[in-house]
Amino acid sequence: GQNIDQPTEMTATEGAIVQINCTYQTSGFNGLFWYQQHAGEAPTFLSYNVLDGLEEKGRFSSFLSRSKGYSYLLLKELQMKDSASYLCAVRDSDYKLSFGAGTTVTVRA
Amino acid sequence: NAGVTQTPKFQVLKTGQSMTLQCAQDMNHEYMSWYRQDPGMGLRLIHYSVGAGITDQGEVPNGYNVSRSTTEDFPLRLLSAAPSQTSVYFCASSSGESGANVLTFGAGSRLTVL
């Protein structure tokens, strides 16, 4: 099975940087995904890590350390539209995807 | 390109009633799945399929049935609805016959069981 932990809520100011941590325990690791979900909408894919290190995609970056069972999503130059839930998801060796409960980020002016 | 289409968007049922949530995708994805999303619990996998004719159980399969007669369609059936099945349901698909890759989600179906 999978155990995925991420903080419930975070608040930051427009223009700032926020880091959302995700720790996981899994019987077999085969990739980690981050999704964004605005209130009342479907999740949308943000990033994917399968090897250790940093993946950068515009204002968003994601980091993975497989030995520590740890990932983070870094949101830079925060905008009001970044207010959303951010879901960490881990794929196991059977290619099943399990999600954490999500971190709600509120961006304040 | 419609992506993943779910119907209905909203449904209210009485305890004991049955219904089917429809899911169709037009991306020729091999992998399809159903999740439910409850406050504070995240998305939980109900059933999934890696191709037509193949289905398997996820984390919370009890009370639900699925079938995959075509690549495009993956309906979720509630056999006898219970209040505990009140939730938002998402269908999601991806390429890859091994299992989940980058998922494309439908818009969701909000189900209330009274």
Tell me which residue has tokens 């049922």: B13
Is B42 an 8 Å CB contact of chain A? yes
pLDDT at B1: 66
Q: What is the pLDDT of residues A73-104, one digit of tens each?
A: 999 999 999 999 999 999 998 888 999 999 99
CA distance A8 to A101: 8
pLDDT bracket for residue A27 (50, 70, 90): confident
Taking residues B68-96, report their average pLDDT. 96
Q: What is the pLDDT of residues A36-49, one digit of tens each?
A: 999 999 999 999 99
Closest Cα in chain A, distance from residue B43 (Å): 6
Strands B42-51 and B31-38 come out as antiparallel
CA distance A88 to B79: 31
Question: Looking at the partner chain, which of B41, B42, B100 has a beta carbon nearest the beta carbon of A91?
Answer: B100
CA distance A90 to B10: 29
CA distance B23 to B106: 8
For residue A60, count other CB atoms closer than 10 A to its CB: 17
Percent of chain B with pLDDT over 90: 89
Take residue A83 and report the two structure tokens written for it: 């207010």
Q: What is the pLDDT of residues B20-65, one digit of tens each?
A: 999 999 999 999 999 999 988 889 999 999 999 999 999 999 999 9
SS3 category, A80: helix
Contacts of A91 in chain B (CB under 8 A): 99-100
CA distance B83 to B114: 6
Taking residues B1-24, report their average pLDDT. 95
On average, the pLDDT of chain A sits at 95
DSSP category for residue B113: E
Strands A60-65 and A70-75 come out as antiparallel
Distance of CA B15 to the CA centre of its chain: 20
Interface of B with A in 75-94 (CB under 8 A): 90
Taking residues B72-99, report their average pLDDT. 93
Taking residues A44-58, report their average pLDDT. 95
Task: Tell if the CB–CB gap between B96 and A95 is shorter than 8 Å.
Answer: yes
Is A41 an 8 Å CB contact of chain B? yes
If we measure between CA atoms, which residue out of B97, B84, B88 comes closest to residue B21?
B88
Question: Looking at the partner chain, which of B41, B98, B102 has a beta carbon nearest the beta carbon of A45?
Answer: B102
Please provide residue B98's backbone torsions phi and psi, each rounded to the nearest 5 degrees: -80, -25
Closest Cα in chain A, distance from residue B19 (Å): 22
